[in-house]
Each structure stands twice: as C-alpha cells, then as structure tokens.
Structure 1
Amino acid sequence: MEKVGFMLFLAMVLCWATMANSASRKSMNREAAEDEDDIDRRLRLLNKPAVKSIQSADGDIIDCVDMHKQPAFDHPAMKEHVIQMEPSIKLPSENKATKVESSKPVISQTWQKSGSCPRGTIPIRRVRRQDLLRASSPEQFGKMYHPHSQDYVANSTLNENVRNVVINGTRVSLPYTKDRDQAILVTVGYNYIGASSDINLWNPNLDLPDDFTTAQIWLLGGPGNKYESVEAGWMVNPKLYGDKQSRLFTHWTVDGSVSTGCFDLTCSGFVQTSSEVALGSALGPISSEREQYQISVGIFLDPHSTNWWLRLTNNLVLGYFPGSLFFYLKRSAIMVNWGGQVYSTMVKKTPHTRTAMGSGEYSGALHGHACYINHVRIVDFSLSLKYPEWVGVYSDEVYCYNGNNHRDGYVGEPVFYFGGPGQNHFCP
C-alpha cells in the first residue's frame, strides 16, 4: 500500500514538473516573441521608406529618404515644424591657410563611390536587426550610455567631484562624466554662438565591446551636470555601428545624456537638409605617419531661428539641431570643448581599458603621430570667427590620455594635440 502511495506521489510530482516546465517554456517563448515585436517596431520606426537604396562597398546600405519623412519628425513637437533649408544669416567663414603643413581636407565616405541621393532626399544609414541586438534594448539603441546607471566601484582612481581646469587664473568646474575619459581644450568666459576647427582623422584601437572613442567639438549650456550640448566629429563605436571604422557623428542632449538625446538620426532631433553626406557613415582616407587628413567641423547658432547648424569640409551645410530642443542653448553656449573622449566602464579603474584616443599616441608625439585639432575658432555676437581669448587644457587621466596646446616658436597659433593608448605601464 505504501508503495502504491509513493508511486502516486511520484507521478503527481512528475506531472507538476512537466506542467511547470511547459509553463516556463511558454513564458520564455512569449517573452522572446515580445522582444522580436519590439525589435520589428523599432526597425520600422528607424528605417523610413526609401526613394532609392545604395549598397556601399563597406557593407552599409544607404537609404535615400524623403527629407520631410526623416526621423526628426517622429516627435509630436516637430509635427508642425517647417524645414529651414538654409540659415537666415551667412554662416561666418574665413580664408584660412592650413596651419599644419601637409594636411589634406577630407569628407569622403565609402558609400558615395556607389551612387548618390536625389535632391529632396537625405541619405540615411539603414539600421539592421543585428544593430539593435547589440544594444541593451531596442529603445536604448543610438543613445549615449546613461552616466549614472552603474554603481560606483571601490577601486575608482579618480574623484569625480574634482573635475576642474584653470582658465585665465580662474578654476572652472567641468560637468560630471562617469565612465568617460576626456582630453580637451576648454574655453569659457563669453556667450558663444558658434565654434569650429579642423579635426585630424585617425582610426584608433578599440578594446572592449561596449567602448567607444571620439574626436570632436561640443558646445555646452545650462547648469552643472544637467547640461545641454550639441556635438559633432568622428567616432569609432562598434556597439552602435557594428565595426571599428571611423565615422561621422552628431549628438545632442538636454540633461547631460541621462535620458535625452541620441547619436545621428537614431531619434527625433537633428534635421538633415543635405543629400550629400550620411551621418554614421565611414570616413576616409585615414591619417598615417606619411599623410595627414582632416575634416572641418563647425556648429553655429542662427540667432533668428535658434537652430544650431552643422557645417563640414568645403562649407557643406549638413543640417541643424532645432532650437525647440533646448532651453539654454536657444540663446548661446557658455562653454566650448575641443578634443577626444573615451567611453568605457573600465576608465578610471584598474585594470584600465586599452581603447585608444586620437591616434593612440600621446599628445607629445606631435604632428604626424598624435591626433590634432587645428584652426580652433569661436563665434560671439560679433558673428566673426576668432581664436578664443582664454583656453585651458584638461585631462581626466594624464597617464592614459593627455592634451597639449602646442605652439611652434613664438608666432602663429597653437595646435591642440591629444590622445593616448589607454592601459600601459603608466596607466595600469
């Protein structure tokens, strides 16, 4: 009798286990189906109907999308927005001699060798399923990593409350940037309505899958860590783009990248007006010890529309960050930075990431070896380009990445060199 009872009990346990396993499989299948639905919805939102598609030799697909159907207009606040086809003022410019000898301007993108987009359309790099799968979630794709999302660890090598630079004898505090190292040239002291420079193009080494590295300009406004910013330059970001090529990028935020903003056209924000250049597409040729190449990047406020316009090499006006995105930057910026940054969960920690900044060489290697930013300019309300009156150099971890505003001799303007290899004998 006891044996029969035990057998009945065992059968019931097996039945319950089978039912629980079945329920678990159904739950997992349901969650997987929901994830697939989220990815499909996000892909439909990001990839607009194309008038024409171009297969690039580097594997990218460039969709030529009706300018009025670009992602900027997905935001409810942009539904009634009328595209501004050109600035209402003439953007400031100057005849400039190249300050770094044997450097060549470049804005070539690989996809341009395979075709062009018709007038009235803009080229958009197509987002594919594998791109979204690399992101922490479909909604997080294209966004700057949340600077406060990870717990502060005990072996951090930097006090984040002591980020300041001395400019004109005054100690200036810089915004909080957890998980990011910077080597930058900084100017403050005025209201800025534009900035520009020539940025040397390299292809630095990446270490960890979530790391990225940039060379850029960014203009900032607003209080402390909840700053607003507009940024542009080149970036190597395999998590976003799927490879380790140097690519043209833009970024904006209104809260220090805590919850707003994105790269390129991956959310409602930047409005593109040019059919010639694709954000997120690879740039070339890349600099080497034998040849130096650079891109020109300028960001300027139209004081009438309050839009921030992006201008590239050969005075190509790419589009604008709408003034409606911002509160403080509607009027001006109060800080401009030029230089590089490395994002990694393993900066300011031991062992440090091996992701490089710039060319991977320290700033002291100078021309032909270190990455440079040349012909640094700001614009104030005189609407003329000028070298900043006051500048300072700041580096988070000088033994990992550093900056040097170097002048040859006693005449001429300085050139800002920056970069570094990341982890090395001095940066453990």
Structure 2
Amino acid sequence: MLSVHLLALQGAAVPPKHHAALAAFGKGAQTDARVELPNKLFQFCVEQPELRREFFMGKRFLLGMLVVTLTVIVCGAVEGGSLSKQKSLRMNSLRKQAIKSIRSEDGDIIDCVSIYDQPAFDHPALWNHTIQLAPTYDPTIDEHSKKATAEREGKEEKNSMVVKQTWRKSGSCPEGTIPIRRIRKHVLLKAESVERYGRKKPMFSQENAQLPITRSSHTLLTNRSKAFLLTAGNNYNAAKGDIKVCNPRVEFDDEYSTSQVALLTGPYYNFEAIESGWAVNPGVYGDRQTRLFVYWTADASQKTGCFDLTCPGFVQTSNEIALGSAIYPISTPNGLPYEIIMFLFRDFKTDNWWVQYGESINIGYWPPELFGALSHTAETVQWGGEVYSTKIGRPPHTRTAMGSGRFPDFISGTSGWVKRMRVRDNSMVLMFPGWVEHYSDEYDCYDVDFIRDYLDDPELYYGGPGKNPRCP
C-alpha cells in the first residue's frame, strides 16, 4: 500500500501487482485496508505532514480522487487513534533490539539488551543521562547492618532457602547487557488503556483529593486494601525488609496482590513513591506467577510511573535480575519459608534511588530527574501488602488474597510477614525506626499484626483471604 501511495506522489506508473489493492479501495474495502496497513504508511501519515499537505494541495498526484480517498481513509484512521495501531506502536517501543534471547521454562522470553539501549533512556529527562554502574558507597557498612549480617551469616542456611528467578535455569545475559522480560502481545491487547499499561490505577478519586489532609487520609483509597506497618516523622534515605515469598490467589485478571517495601513523600492525593517486592499481577504479566517487581510514580499514579521497565524511568544495571520475572521457590503452609531481601537506598552523591536484591545485587536505580521532593528524601516508609480490585469496600468482596492468603499468625508463621525492617534517617544509621504504626483498611478481609515483645527484632505479620464469612 505504501509503494502505491508514494509512486502516485512521484507521478510514476503503478505496478500491476498493486492493481488489486487499488481496486479493493475503489470498492470501499476500508476495513481490510486499516488492518493491513504497514507501520511505514502509518508513519507517513503521522510523521510527514508536509508531504500529506502537498498531496492534498494537488501536487504530484496521478491517481486523483481514488488516492485522495485512500489517504483520507488511512490518515483519518491513524490520527483518530486506532487502538490496535496504538498498541502496535507501544509494543514496538517496549521491545528493544536483543543481543541474545532466552526462552524460560515458564514461557517467558528474556531479551538481553545493551545497557545503553534500555527503555529508561526514552524518557525525555534522561536523554543525556550518564549511567551510574554502581553505587558510590556500600550502604551496608554501618555497624547496625554489620551486626545483622553477621548474625544472619552465623545461622545455618540451606541452599534451598535461596530464592531464584526461573529464567536463570535456561541461561544468562552477558556483561554489558540487561535482561528484559519480553511483553507478550496478548497481554497488551487485553490492556484497558495503552497509555496506562504497566501503571497502577490512581489510588484516590478526584472527590477525595478535595478533602483536607489528615492522619487518616489513607482510608480514602479507591479500590485498594492495604495492611502495613509505617513510620514517619523524619527524612528517610533508605528502607529495607525481608519479605516472605507467597503466591496468593488473584480472582480476576484486572486485580493484583503485592507485598513490598515502599518509600513515599508528598500529599496523599499526589504523592511520589518507589516500591519493590513481589507481585501476582495478571494484568501486567499475563499469568498468576509470583514475580519480582519495582514500581515508581511521581504523581500518585495519575500520569506517571509503572512496574519494572514497562515505561521509561528505572535504569537497570544488573545482568543477573530480570524485573517482572517469576521467582521460586514459593513458601507453603507446611513447608520452608522463603524470602526476598529488598533494600532501597539513595546515593548521596548522585541522588539516585538504588534497589538492592539479596544484600548483594544492585539491580539499578531511579534517577532524581523523575521526581520532585523525593529526589532528595522520603517522608514515609511502609512495609506490607496491597490488593487492588473494584470489588473492595462493598459486597460481594473480591476473593483475591493478600500475603499467603491467611490472617496474621505469629505462632505458626503461615501468614505473610516482613522481618528485619530497617530505615536510615538523618542519623545516617540503618536501624529499626523509633516510631511505627500498623494499620489495615479492612481488618475483616486482610489484617496486620505487629510483634515486638519478646523479640530482639520486631516482626510484621499480615494478610488474609479477602471474601470470607466476616468479609462478605
């Protein structure tokens, strides 16, 4: 189709092989034309307005009204915003040229992409960004962290306790590349909005945004249910936690369940945040496996932010971790508890917010250019779980679970938990915070229990099944 159009513009004869196509357009085969149009013709319509204007002014055309009709059909469809074409372009923007591709046993395809060709640098604020390959200091060198690490290493640990990523069974990415989980076409096709794919729904309604800020503002969440421990009142530049790995039930494809460490700042209706942990999120990942994730937003997920590398922003430096990839083993009620250790910290020299996995692997960072106040400090730290569903807050409640799907249970330890929680504030010491508060939006559906008595290191237990006799 493109060659027909351009040959007509140049005043050339149309090759016989295109006669059928022209005849089809002459008969009004508009629907098929929209489906079969290649990307180059789409780009012609959108990206070369001067040629299009020249064409409509009557210059260099040979096919008269027939080709005019073709152009109107094509360009009108494109500029009108054909959803399938938008999704095709989004797919192309998300898929970078791979140096190597790895097919995982769970169906994922991991593309090893040059570290300099990753999605982050499609962000206008990062076009001239210089990659920081490693933090400028070791964030775990303070005495409190040394003591915790020594105690941990002094315990007898089994290899089976180590959580790994499934794709690593099938290969690895070479130095100088980063592993990017390939987004499947059927997942993007199911997305409610191309622009919002990979981004959470806003947490607060416009009506709630008009209400005054109070300490109970988090009760105004829209379609969210949280159970968490929080600390506030200082300027925080690091947060850490050991999160039990579970695989909670997620009832519908547009729902999700996550467990994470998060740092936040700003008003409740327009906050900035960074998070990391594990998620079961069919809408983003296309299945119900438990996956490692990072997330960011600069405006309470209204127009910015996303999971992993599904939008420009997070700069990855590690060739060992594929964000969004499945992790294993998973904790079971009668089996061993498995955990991931997530550490988010700010580099004081660059203001980059780094994500460290397992106390040794620096996955990458969020540059300060993405944020406002959060580029310098966080006001709040949260540990715990979150469930998203449109069936929250009214019956029938969703059956999507949080944590392990069981209510907090310190004795048996079968619920979700976060241990070795740490923050670093202006004291520059990594430690358990002096003031904390635990909270649940729906304690009959998902509850939280904070245990500090009789323990050297306080622990958080949380979770629940969602719908149950107490939560109809």
What's the TM-score, normalizing by structure 2? 0.78
What percent identity do the matched residue pairs reach?
45
Deviation at 1:107, TM superposition (A): 3.5
Q: Give secondary structure in 1 for the equivalent of 2:239.
A: strand
Relative to 1, partners in 2 of residues 1:149 and 1:296: Cα closer, same or farther, differing over 3 Å?
A: same
Within 2, Cα distance between the matches of 1:102 and 1:349? 44
Question: Does residue 69 in structure 1 map to residue 117 in structure 2?
Answer: yes
- Return the match for 1:136 from 192, 195, 200: 192
Counting only pairs closer than 5 Å after superposition, residues 98-247 of structure 1 correspond to structure 2 as: 98=152, 105-147=161-203, 171=215, 173-174=217-218, 176-247=220-291
Structure with higher strand content: 1
After superposition, the CA RMSD in angstroms is 2.8
Deviation at 1:189, TM superposition (A): 1.2
The answer to whether the 8 Å contact 1:102/1:292 transfers is no
Over residues 60-92 of structure 1, what are the superposed CA-to-partner deviations in whole Å (9 max), with x where a residue is unaligned?
Answer: 000000001100000121110000111122213
Deviation at 1:239, TM superposition (A): 1.1
Amino acid at match of 2:132: Q
Counting only pairs closer than 5 Å after superposition, residues 250-265 of structure 1 correspond to structure 2 as: 250-265=294-309
- Return the match for 1:38 from 80, 86, 108: 86
Counting only pairs closer than 5 Å after superposition, residues 28-427 of structure 1 correspond to structure 2 as: 34-92=82-140, 93-96=145-148, 97-98=151-152, 105-147=161-203, 171=215, 173-174=217-218, 176-288=220-332, 289-364=334-409, 366-407=411-452, 410-427=454-471
Over residues 246-296 of structure 1, what are the superposed CA-to-partner deviations in whole Å (9 max), with x where a residue is unaligned?
Answer: 000111011111111011001111100000000000011000122100000
Within 1, Cα distance between the matches of 2:207 and 2:269? 17
Within 1, Cα distance between the matches of 2:124 and 2:425? 33
Deviation at 1:366, TM superposition (A): 4.5
Amino acid at match of 2:379: I
Structure with higher helix content: 2
Higher relative contact order (CA 8 A, sep 6+): 1
Q: Which has the larger radius of gyration?
A: 2
Deviation at 1:36, TM superposition (A): 3.0
Which residue in the other structure is 2:42 paired with? none
Amino acid at match of 2:111: D
Relative to 1, partners in 2 of residues 1:148 and 1:380: Cα closer, same or farther, differing over 3 Å?
A: closer
Relative to 1, partners in 2 of residues 1:343 and 1:161: Cα closer, same or farther, differing over 3 Å?
A: farther
Relative to 1, partners in 2 of residues 1:248 and 1:364: Cα closer, same or farther, differing over 3 Å?
A: same
Relative to 1, partners in 2 of residues 1:95 and 1:215: Cα closer, same or farther, differing over 3 Å?
A: same
Within 2, Cα distance between the matches of 1:326 and 1:255? 9
Q: Give secondary structure in 1 for the equivalent of 2:289.
A: coil
The answer to whether the 8 Å contact 1:175/1:225 transfers is no
The answer to whether the 8 Å contact 2:213/2:268 transfers is no
Relative to 1, partners in 2 of residues 1:216 and 1:270: Cα closer, same or farther, differing over 3 Å?
A: same
Over residues 330-360 of structure 1, what are the superposed CA-to-partner deviations in whole Å (9 max), with x where a residue is unaligned?
Answer: 2210100000000000111111000000000
Deviation at 1:44, TM superposition (A): 1.1
Aligned length, in residue pairs: 394
Relative to 1, partners in 2 of residues 1:223 and 1:24: Cα closer, same or farther, differing over 3 Å?
A: same
Over residues 385-423 of structure 1, what are the superposed CA-to-partner deviations in whole Å (9 max), with x where a residue is unaligned?
Answer: 10010000010000000110124x534122100000000
Relative to 1, partners in 2 of residues 1:366 and 1:28: Cα closer, same or farther, differing over 3 Å?
A: farther
Q: Give secondary structure in 2 for the equivalent of 1:73.
A: helix
Range with bigger deviation, 92-101 or 244-253? 92-101
Deviation at 1:109, TM superposition (A): 0.5
Within 2, Cα distance between the matches of 1:162 and 1:286? 42
Q: Give secondary structure in 1 for the equivalent of 2:121.
A: helix
The answer to whether the 8 Å contact 1:132/1:141 transfers is yes
Amino acid at match of 1:88: T
Range with bigger deviation, 199-208 or 83-92? 83-92
Range with bigger deviation, 411-420 or 364-373? 364-373
Amino acid at match of 1:292: P
Deviation at 1:176, TM superposition (A): 4.4
